[in-house]
Structure 1
Amino acid sequence: MGVLKLAHGVLKVNDLPQSLEFYREVVGLHEIGKQNGIVYLGCGADNNYDLALTEGGSGISHFALQVHQEDDLAYFEKKLTELGVRTNRVTDAEPGEKAALQFQSPSGHQIELVLAEDRPHYLHPVVGRKPSRGIAPLDADHITLNANDVKGLAGFLRDTLEFSVADVFEPVAGVWGAAWTHGSDFHHDIAIVGTPDNTTLHHYAFLVAGIDEMKRACDVLGQYGYKVEAGPGRHSVGGNLYTYFLDPSGNRIELSAEMPRADKSRELISWNDFPTAFSAWGAFPPESFAKGS
């Protein structure tokens, strides 16, 4: 019962052909299909898409969380409706989706809960996978949103989807500058960074096997003329390994590994120094890291 994982996201890009080349050749995603001006891409483990691209600027158009079964959709549909949130149930809307429940958060983000048509019992790095090229991430991992009201959005996720808050960044006591939330057992499925502007996305994260794959990814980026923005490193918040880079439209992508499991029953941890929270190894985030898309 409940949220299993981040299923996918749809990114807005400035130049669709250029972005497709980047995500196919550099990132190493596989094209699954096209529909209504959207191109659907997967990591190669199954026929579900992990990221889609649509032309029209930058940022996140919508993102989806995967649930276990049909009963989960009915449960959250009832809960959202009782809380006054308008929902829309659809079937076969996108590749690999059996059913989806669509709604909007108070921050304006379009969110879906989806039931996958067919997903392997577990993801294997070799068996059943399409041949790899480029960086070749294993799966979609998590998403970090930009929002004006961090505490409000975290509260919405808690009240509607029964998420827990693992960590928060409080520059001043009681003021949340960032929050890391999870519906699964992993430390964060949706993180939130406060912003005064109207950007929607801080970064979209893919899972890789470990630090050696991050090193290889940095080499791949360099071979194609793209620069690493930050990393490889290890966050203090959450403890996962990270490497960040920007796509041609300025959308930030993270490669993540070693995400720990977190006890949802424990009280959240508060941080008041962002550089300390950012890196357990003493690396300061670059100035560009404050900008979203």
Structure 2
Amino acid sequence: MTAPPRRLITHLRHVDLGVEDLAVQRGFYTGLWGLTEVEHDSGISFLAAEGSPEQYVVRLRQATDKRIDLIAFGAATPADVDTLALQLARDGVRLVSEPGTVTTPGGGHGFRFFDNEGRTVEVSADVTPRTHRRIEERESIPVRLSHVVVNSADPEGTVAFYERHLAFALSDVLTHPRMGDMMWFLRCNDWHHSFAVARGPHPSLHHASFEMRGIDEYMRGSGRLMRAGVEKIWGPGRHKAGNNTFTYFLDPLGNTVEYTTELERLDEDTWHPSLHDFSDPEVSDQWGTANRMDEFVARKSFNAPDRGLFVAPPV
């Protein structure tokens, strides 16, 4: 039996989105959502979370088509970046760029490639940490980017790609007696998930999730968005898989974004994935406080088809 590859990815860095109205999106994420713009130039906005050492956790780019520009992960060293690039090329994965200098804020050494469905993925190391700070009590702004979930028309193939080529590990699966397996939670460290794959009608962003300081800050942030009239899809509640809180909203262009906190940390040596049947209400929401998850709620996060598949972003 072939041994699994050594995990070279350490953590999630940022999610980059192509948006049709940059000004509207900038206003939402820096105003209501609570991110800080650290750089803006030539139709691109880099947004940081005040509690995170990452230079930015969201990048917005003015684009003709709505798309995921890329999902970025970190590696421990430039040598690990080079090793991963060689492994992917050897295995027939299509590289977008060879390892080299990263030109976005913080610099570093990285490369890009297409995953099995054509999303652009970046892996980098030696990015200069951002000066960040402790989020204070009652301060209801994101601490960090928690996880990114994608919709996939071939979720089994997408999960297999990230397990085989990037050594992500499966934490849990959401299943349904009628629809079958519907969401796979994948980890690259001891957080329950940094990445997840949902069964959907087409590849697209399902949601991006942002960790808050604690329950009080999570609820205050959720309340701020609701009072402002931002469309709430689902929540507040607490999931069973990952044991994290959730409130999902739609940003002005229809991307789903989540406030969360208390995502579970695992003992990777002893953890075994479970199947969670989300027809059981306590699987979807242990508290019973969220609105009912039904097909109409689920459809909100299908999003528009990603127009950037196998087309690398220009920057």
Query: Please, what TM-score do these two structures have when normalized by structure 1?
Result: 0.88
C-alpha RMSD of matched pairs (Å): 2.5
Question: Which deviates the most, 276-285 or 211-220?
Answer: 276-285
| Correspondence for 1:230 | 234
Given the alignment of the two structures, is residue 178 of structure 1 paired with residue 188 of structure 2, yes or no?
Answer: no
| Correspondence for 1:79 | 87
* Structure 1 residues 36 and 99: alpha-carbon distance in aligned structure 2, compared to 1, 3 A threshold: farther
Identity, in percent, stands at 27
CA contact (8 A) 1:8 1:49 kept: yes
CA contact (8 A) 1:214 1:232 kept: no
Quote how far apart the aligned CAs of 1:272 are. 3.3
Letter in 2 for 1:273: F
Secondary structure at the counterpart of residue 181 of structure 2: coil
Mapped partners of 1:275, 1:195: distance in 2 = 21
Mapped partners of 1:33, 1:275: distance in 2 = 45
Quote how far apart the aligned CAs of 1:118 are. 1.7
1:188 to 187, 193, 200: 193
Mapped partners of 2:280, 2:119: distance in 1 = 27
Mapped partners of 2:191, 2:227: distance in 1 = 33
| Correspondence for 1:114 | 124
How many aligned positions are there?
A: 286
Secondary structure at the counterpart of residue 264 of structure 2: coil
Given the alignment of the two structures, is residue 8 of structure 1 paired with residue 38 of structure 2, yes or no?
Answer: no
Secondary structure at the counterpart of residue 97 of structure 1: coil
CA contact (8 A) 1:185 1:262 kept: yes
Given the alignment of the two structures, is residue 54 of structure 1 paired with residue 74 of structure 2, yes or no?
Answer: no
CA contact (8 A) 1:229 1:245 kept: yes
Quote how far apart the aligned CAs of 1:78 are. 2.2
CA contact (8 A) 2:48 2:58 kept: yes
Given the alignment of the two structures, is residue 140 of structure 1 paired with residue 145 of structure 2, yes or no?
Answer: yes
CA contact (8 A) 1:93 1:100 kept: no
Letter in 2 for 1:48: Q
* Structure 1 residues 79 and 264: alpha-carbon distance in aligned structure 2, compared to 1, 3 A threshold: farther
2:274 to 259, 269, 287: 269
Per-residue CA shift, 1:160-186, capped at 9, x if unaligned?
111111111233699532100011111
Quote how far apart the aligned CAs of 1:75 are. 2.3
Quote how far apart the aligned CAs of 1:199 are. 4.2
Q: Which runs of 5+ in 1 are unaligned?
A: none
Mapped partners of 2:46, 2:263: distance in 1 = 26
Letter in 2 for 1:32: V
Per-residue CA shift, 1:138-191, capped at 9, x if unaligned?
111110011111111111111111111111123369953210001111100111
| Correspondence for 1:17 | 23
Letter in 1 for 2:223: D
Alignment of 1:22-37 (within 5 A): 22-37=28-43
CA contact (8 A) 1:275 1:285 kept: no
* Structure 1 residues 36 and 84: alpha-carbon distance in aligned structure 2, compared to 1, 3 A threshold: farther
Query: Please, what TM-score do these two structures have when normalized by structure 2?
Result: 0.82
Question: Which deviates the most, 35-44 or 147-156?
Answer: 35-44
Per-residue CA shift, 1:35-55, capped at 9, x if unaligned?
452211111344601101123
Alignment of 1:156-175 (within 5 A): 156-171=161-176
Mapped partners of 2:161, 2:216: distance in 1 = 37
Mapped partners of 2:150, 2:221: distance in 1 = 24
CA contact (8 A) 2:174 2:277 kept: yes
Letter in 2 for 1:49: Y
Secondary structure at the counterpart of residue 153 of structure 1: helix
Mapped partners of 1:27, 1:120: distance in 2 = 20
* Structure 1 residues 258 and 126: alpha-carbon distance in aligned structure 2, compared to 1, 3 A threshold: closer
Mapped partners of 1:275, 1:61: distance in 2 = 35
2:74 to 57, 66, 75: 66
CA contact (8 A) 2:117 2:203 kept: no
Secondary structure at the counterpart of residue 223 of structure 2: helix
* Structure 1 residues 151 and 172: alpha-carbon distance in aligned structure 2, compared to 1, 3 A threshold: farther
Letter in 1 for 2:146: D
Secondary structure at the counterpart of residue 95 of structure 1: coil
| Correspondence for 2:49 | 43
